[in-house]
Amino acid sequence: MPDLASAGGLRAVLHDQRAAIVRFLTARTGSMDLAQDLYQELWLRLGHANPGPIANPPAYLMRAANNLALDYRRGELRARARDAAWLDLDNPAMAAPDQRPDPAMGADEVIAAGQELALLRLAIERLPPGARRAVTLHRIDGLPHADVAAVMGISRSGVEKHIAVAMKQLRRTFWDWGAEATAASDNEHHSKEHGHD
């Protein structure tokens, strides 16, 4: 099958690029062990992916490694959100499994996803009105800058400034969230396999 052939080809490239990818992952995650784990994960996932034609395989693999590092980081942050949320009765995860959005997903995952969304929503609501409107229209509703400018009755550069302000503030919120989570888990091991108790 062609997808197997292309996965095999990608794995060969992955092998060739191993040093660069592990070095990148080490810098990206701050842990050499974790970098090795993620490299293995990348190897495994290439067996299932059917990426179609790829113009630049080494760059594709670096991007994939980068995505994997972000996924892992999100997993860490969610783990913290889970611990905090069990008593929230409004949470959809409290519903019986067959009433959950996706019964296959663990209750704690539902909670964690909800918290991520809640944090993002709160951060957006706290933006200055112009910044909030611009970022909502552009990033959430998908309107190009020119359309956002028309809807808001301001110039394109005004739109760009609003969006820059919004993105700075949103990043700051999630940077703070990440810093708290990191501080809270500093005493624990870094990798998932060695998670607490």
Partner 1 sequence: MTDVSIMDTAAQWHEQVTAETVDWDAFTLWLEADPGHARAYDAVALVDALIAERAPALAGLTAANDDPAGNDNGVPMRTPSRRWAGAALAGLAAVAAALVLAFLPVWPGHGEWQTGDGAQTVALADGTRIVLAPHSRLTRAGDRLALAGGAVFAVPHRPDRTLTISAGELTISDIGTHFDLRNDDGIVRLSLDEGQVSVSSTRMAKPVTVAAGQALLFDPADAQISLGAGSTGDWQHDQLSYRDAPLPLVVADIARYGPVPLRADGALAHLHFSGTLRLGTGHDPAADLARLMALDVGMSGRGAVLRAHGQGRGAASRSTGAPPIHPAPIAPTPGTPTN
Within residues 141-180, the interface with partner 1 by CB under 8 A covers 141-143, 151-153, 167-168, 170-172, 174-175, 178-179
> How far apart are alpha carbons 56 and 13 in whole angstroms?
10
Residue 196's alpha-carbon distances to 30, 163, 184, 187, in angstroms, are 19, 40, 12, 10
CB nearer to partner 1: give 19 or 197.
Answer: 19
Q: How far is the CB of 98 from partner 1 (least distance, A)?
A: 13
Tokens of 102: 């996706």
The answer to whether residue 8 forms part of the interface with partner 1 (CB under 8 A) is no
SS3 102: coil
Task: Kindly state the tokens that stand for 146.
Answer: 């020119």
We find the least distance from the C-beta atom of residue 171 to partner 1, in angstroms, to be 5
Of 168 and 197, nearer to partner 1 (C-beta) is 168
Q: Which of residues 15-74 bind partner 1 (CB under 8 A)?
A: 20, 23-24, 27-30, 42, 45-46, 48-56, 58-60, 62-64, 66-68, 70-71, 73-74
Binding status of residue 186 toward partner 1 by CB under 8 A: no
**Cα separations in angstroms, 23 against 29, 32, 62, 113, 192:** 10, 8, 11, 30, 20
